[in-house]
Amino acid sequence: MKNSLAVLVRVMEQAKRDGIITVNPARVNGWQAEYKKAEDELDDPRSLALSDWDTLVSLADALVRRSHGQYLGWGSVVTFAACTAARIGEVSGVRARDIDPVNWIWTVRRQTTPGPGGLIDKGTKGKMARRIPLIEEVPPLVAQRLLAVGHRPDARLFTGPRGGRITTAVLRDATHWDEVVAELGYEHLRRHGLRHTGLTWMADAGVPLHVLRIIAGDGSLQTTQRYLHPDLRALVAAGRSLSGHLRGAPAPSRPLAAPLQAL
């Protein structure tokens, strides 16, 4: 990427000198820092997670305070996203009928994304519905939202202050996200970090890897395994190594014990 940008910068710089363009669009300030963040997210998403529940509450409260009219809904979105390890677009897509208020299970069926002509709802990233348990800190919040929308099946549970659909950019701008996280000392935290937070907490709580994968909606166990604690990850890897060794070991050339008839 660095080498490609270097070439593009030089080409565009010549075009600028020739008067074809007035600004070199290839000169992107701060791209190295953003690229490093992306690398960290791919290699170690645990490092991008919030540390504990109190930290999440403090973040949600701070974002509400900085928003116009101190809209409590922003705090609800942040808390729900972290506790369910969901993407912001998936939180935006929650309808009342997606919530099982008896067992407190959320069936993720859709997400809100930018599309031609504006925001649209479409299937989840994995193209399949999945179910996520709502931990005991979440049902009171969800119950309030269900009551607010009158339990109408197709009503959105989480919207902006004017009833609009939410995106990660909307959440960022409405809450002054970048400024708030910097003031709290979480400069590394982006909206997707809420998903990393939830998956990290679940992994540390002992949720089995195959269950964690279902909750995350990941396509492979390798993607989900990044959320395991390094010590636990080493144990899992050791187990897989032994399985691989046994599968690849040649069959014994002679019986390990004499047949019963010969005894």
pLDDT per position as a tens digit, 43-60: 678 888 999 999 999 999
The pLDDT tens digits for 5-34 are 778 888 988 888 888 988 888 777 666 665
Nearest to 106 by CA among 219, 200, 215: 215
pLDDT band at 262 (very low <50, low <70, confident <90, very high): very low
Quickly count: other Cβ atoms within 10 Å of residue 13's Cβ.
Answer: 14
Give me the mean pLDDT over the 242-257 stretch: 64
- Return the percentage of the chain with pLDDT > 70, whole number: 87
Is residue 206 pLDDT above 70, yes or no?
yes
Tokens of 7: 């070439």
Nearest residue to 76 via CA among 173, 113, 68, 88: 88
- Predicted structure pTM score: 0.75
Q: What's the rounded mean pLDDT across residues 203-215?
A: 91
Distance between CA 116 and CA 101 in Å, rounded? Answer: 35
